[in-house]
Chain A
Amino acid sequence: MYYLRTTFQYALTLLIALAANFFLPRLAPGDPINALLGADVVENMSAEQIAQVAMELGINDPLPIQFWHYLIGIFTGDFGNSIKLGMPVWDALIQKLPWTLLLMGFALVISTLIGTVLGVLSAWKRGEFADIATMGTVLFIGSLPPFWLAMMLIILFSTTLGWLPSFGAYQIGTSFPSWDWFVGVGKRMLMPVAGLAIVQTTSVLLIARSSMQMALDQDYIMFARAKGVSEGAIFFKHAFRNALLPLYTHTMMGLGALIGGSLIIETVFSYPGLGGLIVQGVNSRDYPLLQGLFVITTISIIAANFITDLLYPLIDPRTRRAR
């Protein structure tokens, strides 16, 4: 019954999210014609000419008709053509998706590992110099604006030292799977991944520290210590295991959000991922492109939530009993 109810809830959420994906871009001011023809040209077109272009782009159909086409498109995998890029939305998504997964995936793994380690150690050493120094440093770095951080990385490692390329995801002119291609990809990943990981580590650290701290404050920890259990066993067996649940949730949510990419980091580094595509879609009010992007982002986040929910009972038996 629980699984049935959960499935129904997620299906309903998906439907509402899909409707929001369709209507929200259209509620925002602006339309794609400006981006396609140029604002100075559109401004001087007659109403009839503008209507003609809108008809060609399929954006002057009544909204219910457009919505119907959109739903059909989702179920048939046809998101239409990007107005600005002049190519099928699906092709654009497939082209950019691997880069976003690579970038965000590495950043997620690195930030989760570093944030977890630093967070639990910080909680373990609560109130000591190591805790205060770690918290202060990470909070300071984490509060830096990502675009500023990215620019500083470029100025240091590209412009000043000349060690790393400042833009793109691969060396243009090389092809997969040559050695040069891999080297190019690796070099170009370093700064964006570092930028993202630095920013994300802060939140992981705070969650890890807080949940570890809560675990360490529990009576069973005191009881274990009273029993004479070793500190190592208390750390790993009793405290850390119980602190894992919030970290697991955070990591799964991060997995779901992978698809959305990073708008700022991808833009600054001209990284060809979905984040940059979202910026482009929003700037040009490219409805088909935005719809395609939001649909796959929505589905991935909802799927990650769904899987997280389903796996909770396996991770923490207490939630099984609660249900």
Chain B
Amino acid sequence: MYRTIVRAACASALALCLVASPMAHDAALHANPAAGNGSPHTASGILSAINNDGPKTADHLRIGIWNTAANITTYTIGNSWNDWVLYLALDKLLEPSPYMSQGRSWLATEVVQVSEDARVWEAEIRQGVKWHDGTEMTAEDVVFTYNLYLNGPANRWTHHVSDVPRIEQIELISPTRVRFTAPRPMPNFDLVTAPELPIMQKKQWEGVEDPRTLTEPVIGTGPYKLVDYKADEYYHFVAHEDFWGGAPTVKELTLVMIKDPQTIFAALKSGEIDAAARALPPEMVDQWRNDPAIEIAQAPSLWGTWMQMNLNDPVFNNRDLRYALSVAVDADELVERVMLGRAQSGKHGWPHLDSTWTKPGLEVGYDTELAMTGLDTLGFRDTDGDGFRDLPDGTPFDWRIVVSTNQPLYVRAAEVMVEQFAQIGIRTHVEAVDQATFNSLTTDGNYEFSISEITPHGLADQDQYMQFYSGAQMKKLLETEPERLALYNQWWEADSRDARQDAHFALQEYELNYPSRFMLWYPDGLFAYRWQSYDNYVSSFGYGIFHKYSFLPEAGRIGTSESIDQLIEE
């Protein structure tokens, strides 16, 4: 109860801050980038029995990663598991990420809105910034990069320029200033686009015919220079001597690939690596919390687990059915049974509870009676007496919940969901398939339900939410739900950040009532490292503790992170 009150208070405070904060897009905003997230629901801190005090600098750290970062370019990293590896080498105009309430000046000293309707923005490019090859970064590099994202091959970043928002023109208006023009308002340009897109070196990329096949080490302006790598084996970085933000706190970083989840934590335990950049399974927290060599940190990672419905299936293109099913999902039970309590309940819906643009106070109530009444009203009744409901035309059904076999937690969650749906008379079963087949089934619309993770890129970024409507399934909802379409259009037409936020809050409320997906939980970001090797990690929204800011001097961390140097009492 106490926790609920505290959370409600935090949420209210956050709402007040959001409403009261001036939305002026001036240079001062970027010059003093204090984090504006309010109090997150997922606390940052140490979960170990003792908060040790280890070294704040290191000569060489070995960090285990589990997913290949390929050749460390935006064209071969297709996920949000390893984008932090890319950001060790590459910087963005503003930092740290689109997941904060404001960006901090980085490669741009300012990003300002110059037209009242938020269609035109300008960025003043920082001078004196050096690429890893010693040459100077210029505004031309920025123009080149944004144009490549706009017109070049698609990758995980490009839709922030080519779709939401769609930028029409990127031009150099002075040797140090770049102008961005869009046909529609883009009031979140400095909140999402500028802190999202890494800047690439024109000299390295302009002659590359197929950007997906560049194999030479990427040249960036970031605090770490990639000197050697074998994709799928290791990545060796050394501190960038000329980094404009000061000397990094760790001189060398070697990221080693350890794909197997048991092996990566065994390697950490045996001291072969100094940290494991992989979420610690909840059951290991109690095992390791008294380990004298290892420290466990918790940090808001903004990840989530959701249950999707196949909206291509006409059955689910019925908002009342989706609502009835949503109130039958007991997200609290999933947190306790599957995540052993180490997550926040997904009942708050989409976006992430700790996202800076989440409307406070929204919550879907668990109510099986309401669900059953809704299903009765819609005609889903048990006509053949087998204990399960049938379709309104009397056809029996047994919906599939598809999960990937490489996610044991989701298989467990799917089994719990089968039980929960059975309570309201809905028959479902679990189908566990390999990851590639899972991806194929879900993108081809060959399923009824699926359970998967959703990264901060999709769960804590306002523009990405609208990007979802580019997909076939969500488009269908716009076609059949005029209210949703009106709110969607309202968002697009909003030419100020306040108006965007209002429109988005309205959309969130609508989404909670007529969900397109069911949020199940938001995991606590749990991470483990050997404190005697290095004990200077900080938390950054969306990234946990593994990101470049954990290796930057104090000045580089301002506004990007919060300290984890406190014990969390359980």
User: Which residues of A come within 8 Å of B, CB atoms?
Assistant: 28-31, 34-47, 49, 52-53, 56-57, 81, 83-88, 92, 95, 151, 154-155, 158-159, 162, 165-168, 172-173, 267-270, 272, 276-277, 279-280, 282-285
Contacts and interface: CB of A to CB of B under 8 A. Distances in A.
B30 interface: no
A162 B212 CA distance: 41
A84 B272 contact: no
Interface residues of B, number: 64
B272 A276 contact: no
A167 B263 contact: yes
B76 A154 contact: no
A33 B437 CA distance: 13
A154 to B, nearest CB: 5
28 contacts: A29-B440, A29-B444, A36-B76, A37-B156, A38-B79, A38-B80, A38-B156, A40-B458, A45-B471, A46-B471, A49-B470, A81-B210, A84-B70, A85-B76, A86-B71, A86-B213, A86-B215, A87-B215, A162-B270, A166-B270, A167-B264, A268-B260, A269-B260, A270-B260, A272-B232, A276-B259, A277-B232, A280-B68
A87 to B, nearest CB: 5
Interface of B: 62, 68, 70-71, 73, 75-76, 78-80, 153-156, 159, 210, 212-215, 230-234, 236, 254, 256-260, 262-264, 266-267, 269-272, 434-437, 439-444, 452, 454-455, 457-458, 467-474
Contacts of A36: 76, 78, 212
Contacts of A283: 434-436
A215 to B, nearest CB: 43
Given A53-B153, A166-B270, A85 B232 contact: yes
A155 B232 contact: no
A29 B263 contact: no
Given A38-B79, A270-B258, 15 more contacts: A30-B436, A30-B437, A35-B439, A42-B443, A43-B443, A44-B159, A47-B472, A56-B212, A84-B76, A86-B70, A92-B231, A158-B266, A159-B266, A270-B260, A282-B436
Nearest to A280: B232
A311 B344 CA distance: 66
A267 B230 contact: no
Contact of A28 (B212, B270, B436): B436
A31 B442 contact: no
Among the interface residues A41, A49, A57, A270, which one has the most CB atoms of the partner chain B within 10 A?
A41
A88 B210 CA distance: 13
Contact of B470 (A44, A151, A168, A279): A44
B440 A41 contact: no
Given A154-B262, A277-B232, A282-B436, A49 B154 contact: yes
A44 B471 contact: yes
Contact of A41 (B76, B159, B267, B441): B159
Contacts of A155: 266
Contact of B439 (A34, A49, A81): A34
Contacts of B258: 167, 270
A49 B79 CA distance: 18
B230 A272 contact: yes
Nearest to A285: B436
B213 A87 contact: yes
A122 B254 CA distance: 50
Contacts of A40: 454-455, 457-458
Contacts of B76: 36, 84-86
A215 B429 CA distance: 54
Nearest to A151: B262
A83 B153 CA distance: 13
Contacts of A276: 232, 259
Nearest to A168: B256
Contacts of A28: 436-437
Given A272-B232, A283-B436, A34 B443 contact: yes
A267 B262 CA distance: 11
A154 B262 CA distance: 9
A241 to B, nearest CB: 44
A284 B436 contact: yes
Contacts of B437: 28-30
A264 B374 CA distance: 48
A166 B272 contact: yes
A322 B454 CA distance: 65
Contacts of B442: 39, 43
A47 B154 CA distance: 13
Contacts of A47: 472
Contacts of B212: 36, 56-57, 81, 83, 86
Contact of B68 (A49, A85, A154): A85
B16 to A, nearest CB: 32
Nearest to A41: B156
Listed from nearest, the 7 A-B pairs whose CB atoms lie closest are: A30-B436, A30-B440, A44-B471, A29-B440, A34-B439, A86-B76, A38-B78
Contacts of B259: 267, 270, 276, 279
A270 B443 contact: no
A99 to B, nearest CB: 10
Contacts of A285: 436
Nearest to A34: B439
B467 A270 contact: no
Given A37-B154, A43-B443, A166-B266, A267 B468 contact: no
Contacts of A172: 62, 233-234, 236, 254, 256
Which of B62, B234, B272 gathers most chain A CB within 10 Å? B272
B232 A159 contact: no
Contacts of B474: 44
Which of A86, A154, A155, A276 has the most CB atoms of chain B within a 10 A radius of its CB? A86
Nearest to B464: A44
B269 A159 contact: yes
B431 to A, nearest CB: 12
Contacts of A88: 213
Contacts of B231: 85-87, 92
Nearest to B155: A37
A234 to B, nearest CB: 49
